[in-house]
Amino acid sequence: MYQRDFIMRMVEMLAELVAGILRLINKGEFEKATLSIDNAYRDLLKEDAAFFTSIPLDKLTDVLIAEHNYTDGHLEILSELFYTQAELLLAQSKLGESINFYKKALKLFNFVIKKSGTFSIDKQSKIQYIENRIAEFNIDNTTKNE
């Protein structure tokens, strides 16, 4: 019970943090946004961003759950950080890297929703937004390659 309350407080704090980082991105303050994201990885998940970047998409949940004992709460936090990282990279015109983070965020959001069995309008909206972004980029890449 106490751990669940702790994780819920962490998720609420993360929502505020994500909103602040997105404001920095919108203002073009990319260095501050990067620093905030890097600090969030270390402070909330006790690993640096490079650790999570190195995990392949197809092994993401297996590695985090089986090898590192991450809970659904950890995965929810990580999904939000991946989403924020994707937004930052997109604003910096790093499309390929951005897509990878969107895909990782999407995988974790879907995993957490499926496992919890609960409905969240916020998560569903974010999933829809990410799916639209990925589809948009795939269309853009297809037309650029033609």
What per-residue confidence (pLDDT) applies to 7? Answer: 64
* Backbone dihedral angles phi then psi of residue 53, each to the nearest 5 degrees: -65, -35
**Is the sign of the CA dihedral 20, 103, 98, 41 positive or negative?**
positive
Rounded distance between C-alpha atoms, residue 143 and residue 78, angstroms: 32
Provide the whole-model pTM: 0.86
Q: Which amino acid is at 91?
A: A
Look at residue 141 in the predicted model and tell me its pLDDT.
56
pLDDT tens for residues 109-142? Answer: 999 888 877 777 888 899 999 999 999 887 755 5
Average pLDDT value for residue range 80-89: 95
Q: What is the pLDDT of residue 146?
A: 44
Crossing angle (nearest 10°) for helices 121-145 and 72-91: 40
Question: What is residue 78's predicted lDDT score, i.e. its pLDDT?
Answer: 93
